[in-house]
Amino acid sequence: MQGAYVDPAKCIGCTLCVSICPKVFEMQADGKSKAVNPNGEPTDAIEKAIASCPATAISLKDYLK
């Protein structure tokens, strides 16, 4: 199963992913985004967040079921 993953080393904290997929991404105390529910939105919405990330910090990652 694939889901969203945010590379914390690349994330610039722009919050765009949170506005596109609020059920998937959440801003953390360090100002970076995290995929707290990697499959919380339809795949097309997650792919939109991936394409919209100015830092290319988001990708799809294989998760165990």
Ramachandran region, residue 13 (left: φ > 0; alpha: ψ -120 to 50; beta: rest): left
Pick the CATH number of 2-62 from 3.40.30.10, 3.30.70.20, 3.30.460.80, 3.20.10.10: 3.30.70.20
pTM: 0.92
Is the pLDDT assigned to residue 65 strictly greater than 80? Answer: no
- The predicted model gives 58-63 an average pLDDT of 93
Report helix, strand or coil for 50: helix
Q: What is the pLDDT of residues 4-59, one digit of tens each?
A: 999 999 999 999 999 999 999 999 999 999 999 999 999 999 999 999 999 999 99
Tell me the two tokens of residue 38.
Answer: 């990697």
